[in-house]
Structure 1
Amino acid sequence: MLPLLIVLAFVLVPVLEIYVLIQVGEVIGAWPLVGLLAAEVVLGAWIIRREGLRAWGALYDTVRSGVLQDRELGDAVLVMAGGVLIMLPGLITDVLGAVLVLPFTRPLLKRAMSAFAARRMRAAEARGVRFPPPGVGGAGFDPFGARPGPERVETPPGPVVRGEVVHDDDTTSKT
């Protein structure tokens, strides 16, 4: 279902954009329409630059403090996506981009996206899909693909006491 929607979006959105551009161009004229599209590209680039710096700063603060700042990162992602949509030539994508950029619509979008993700997770759990899948995440997970086995040393649970191993029965002589 989702791949069909994506294909339809890639086919229908450009057709709708062209139709709307023709209609608006007939009303305001060709040169004002070209000026409007150029101004939208400049505005989108400015938003992306500003929010890109803000997102980078939020990511840096998150790494430095170790505390996930999901609100700031979520806002930055939505505003950057809105800036990209505004930069694309077309009036429909500009309206969608403006919805993502405006500060009073972002909380609604974040709430809707959170509800959508929660609904998808519940549906996946009902089908018996585990997150993360077996072998990914949790105990024994290695992002580099090493599997647990006899050659792999696992850290035992509990506190780790740092120290030095001293062997009393050192058989090597130092002469």
Structure 2
Amino acid sequence: MIKKSWLWAALFIIPAFELFGFILVSSWLGAPKTLLLLVSTSLIGLLMMRFEGSKVLQDSKQQMQEGLVPGRTMLDGLCVFFGGLLLIIPGFITDIIGFTLVFPLTRTIYRGLLLKWLEKRMKNGTFTFYRR
């Protein structure tokens, strides 16, 4: 479980970095172009999330019809979902992380980290897996 102090720190640190990024980019491009860039990256990200999300859903349905467990595909779906959430949040840092979560080539990095985290939790007994 994530400690509450990390959540409080992230609640203040992430917006501070986003504000710094917005000020930095707006000093280079100007405020109207920066706002246009933020809106356009969010729209492009949402379109990517929609396309990749439907692709992941089709892959998982196909694997289930073949009698396979769609484990990797489900982790991809989780990455696409969280990437989409980050793309909705206005800011350049969250957009970069969101794009890398949604984009298939960089998603494998996050999937590997997520697998290691799940494996560690299962070995420690802090993550339990229930079957019907």
Range into which the TM-score falls when normalised by the shorter chain: 0.7 to 0.9
* Correspondence 1:26 to 2:27: yes
Alignment of 1:128-147 (within 5 A): 131=128, 137=130
What's the TM-score once normalised by structure 2's chain length? 0.80
Cα 1:130–1:35 shift into 2, 3 Å: closer
Q: Which has the larger radius of gyration?
A: 1
Instruction: Decide whether the 8 Å contact of 2:42 with 2:95 is kept in 1.
Output: no
Specify whether residues 47 and 57 from structure 1 end up closer, same or farther in structure 2 by C-alpha distance, changes over 3 A only.
Answer: same
* TM-score normalised over the length of structure 1: 0.63
Mark the runs of 5 or more structure 2 residues left unpaired by the alignment. Answer: none
d(CA) in 1 for partners of 2:74, 2:68:
12
Do structure 1's residue 53 and structure 2's residue 54 form an aligned pair? yes
In the comparison of the two structures, how many residue pairs are matched? 131
Q: Which has the higher helix share?
A: 2
In structure 1, the residue matched to 2:93 is 92
The structure whose RCO (Cα within 8 Å, separation 6+) is larger is 2
Per-residue Cα deviation, 1:13-66 (whole angstroms, up to 9, x for no partner): 112211211121112101110110111121122012212322332343344333
Describe the SS at the equivalent of 1:77: helix
CA distance in 2, matches of 1:96, 1:59: 24
Across the aligned residues of Structure 1 and Structure 2, the Cα RMSD in angstroms comes to 2.4
Q: Which amino acid aligns with 2:13?
A: L
What is the distance in 1 between the residues matched to 2:56 and 2:23?
36
Q: Which residue matches 1:116?
A: 117
Q: Which runs of 5+ in 1 are unaligned?
A: 142-175
Identity level (%): 25
Q: CA 1:49/1:68 → structure 2, altered by over 3 Å: closer, same or farther? A: same
- Counterpart contact for 1:47–1:80, Cα < 8 Å: no
